[in-house]
Structure 1
């Protein structure tokens, strides 16, 4: 069961499952707790996982005033406070990875380790152009389904589009009762285009694993590599056949990889487990994923 927790005047929707070392999951653009369903289901036997709706998404309102990544990082810290969590393994994807970076820089004692999926230091011209296209699409699309059909071309692999996975996700998003307004989407996007992690990344002390999809057209591997290069001791991996959200398309593989990383940190080494021959074979095998049953974006 989920519940709202308070951060100042803001009521943040959170859900918590499982038992074990604490994990905080941070979603991306417009994403809610449901985007992490495969992790909430697949890792709860080993970890206590907390997920939340970002401000302006799902069941968390968008407060008045400027929307900044720093404020959203403080929201994440407030979620930890509300649940009595001193520190947690933090995982974020896309915009959530940027929030995770800022959380680790602003509140280093709260971050046990950091997993950054589909991330960047600062948007390059290509990513900014893609962002302008999405901003245009939000207003130009005649309805939500049409927006999602076009937006998800940049998010999921051709495999997921062709096997019906994306169609199922779109149906779930359209049926989701807690809609994000177009205005809130614009404000959320603007916060990320304005954010530059160049100065904060070198200050991150948490063990960090950076993951990139080899065919992600947005948070491309070179952007993820720049993040890993900027964070002392960070490990960087490219999953060659995956796109922006492998934690949904190949959740069993993603869960196993990040759990191995967390286990290394818990054991005290702070070093991600090395990739194995099986990992490389999986990259080249174009695995048939389980179909996600969660909303995303």
Structure 2
């Protein structure tokens, strides 16, 4: 099922994908990723949950508006999607930049968040992380072509295993064939929003049950970032997938789905 949802007055409509039946789950994608980034979850968890994914501003079929782009605005967009769909509260899962949006959603709209899953997350910008993301910013326009950009960018995202077995090559082909690719302007403005945003001094105010997942081989957001988030959010759980990198929900979807399903079942039982 697909739909569009108006967010704020005079702002763009967000493209929405929905699938399944059961307790509500909201999936928030990372930098430049459309709703289809969550396809393994939409397909693999739809028999137990009603999953909603959407295209962030400037991504996929959602237009990029003029004016400042902020994490707070994107969190309000996520809240608007839920209210448009009359979802009173949901298990919220965010990946990478989407995990920062999810943190902000839990802080700004706590009544909407039944639980949090934060994948490849962070809460503060240090010199290492700024250097990594700044390199993506100029690479988006300096690369000799789209394929060259993706080949360089995905070195930071996927495991050696995925590069060696042809998975990354397949993902690049699929990305290039996708008719709604993110523009360099979207990539750069979204990066600027992420780099301008920090939650470290506010995470203690999150009240939702939280699971933080990190990839042991993640060179973009190494486990130390996720551990710092989990240590600040009250009673958060921290788990490492030792053999995985930045995007485990795509590389090992069955293991990822099993972990989040077990967590959501636990939360449902506790409620």
TM-score (norm 2): 0.98
Instruction: Select which of 101, 109, 113 maps to 2:111.
Output: 109
Partners of 1:200 and 1:10 lie apart in 2 by 29
- SS state at 1:154 partner: coil
Deviations 1:51-82 (A, max 9, x none): 00001100001111111000000000001011
Task: Map 1:1-297; keep pairs closer than 5 Å.
Answer: 1-8=1-8, 9-268=11-270
What is the match of residue 283 of structure 1? Answer: none
3-state DSSP of counterpart to 2:86: coil
Kept in 2, the 8 Å contact 1:155–1:216? The answer is yes
Q: Distance in 2 between matches of 1:132 and 1:187?
A: 12
**Structure 1 stretches of 4+ moved >3 Å:** none
Give the Cα–Cα distance (whole angstroms) in 1 for the partners of residues 202 and 103 of structure 2.
8
Give CA-to-partner distance per residue, 1:137-165, whole Å, 9 cap, x none: 11110110110001000100000000010
Superimposed CA distance per residue, residues 228-268 of structure 1 (whole angstroms, 9 cap, x where no aligned partner) = 01100000011111000110000000000000000000001
| Other structure's SS at 2:15 match | strand
Structure 2 regions of 5+ residues with no counterpart?
A: none
| Distance in 2 of aligned mates of 1:68 and 1:230 | 23
SS in 2 for 1:153: coil
- Measured in 2, the distance between the counterparts of 1:44 and 1:265 equals 18
Aligned-residue CA RMSD in angstroms? 0.8
Contact 1:102–1:200 (8 Å) recurs in 2: no
- What is the CA-CA distance between 1:200 and the residue it aligns to? 2.2
Query: May I ask how many residue pairs the two structures share in their alignment?
Result: 269
Q: Determine the C-alpha separation between the residues in 1 that align with 2:94 and 2:118.
A: 5
What is the alpha-carbon distance in structure 2 between the residues aligned to residue 264 and residue 202 of structure 1? 22
* Shift of residue 135, structure 1, vs aligned partner: 1.1
- Structure 1 unaligned regions, length at least 5: 270-297
User: TM-score, structure 1 length as denominator?
Assistant: 0.89
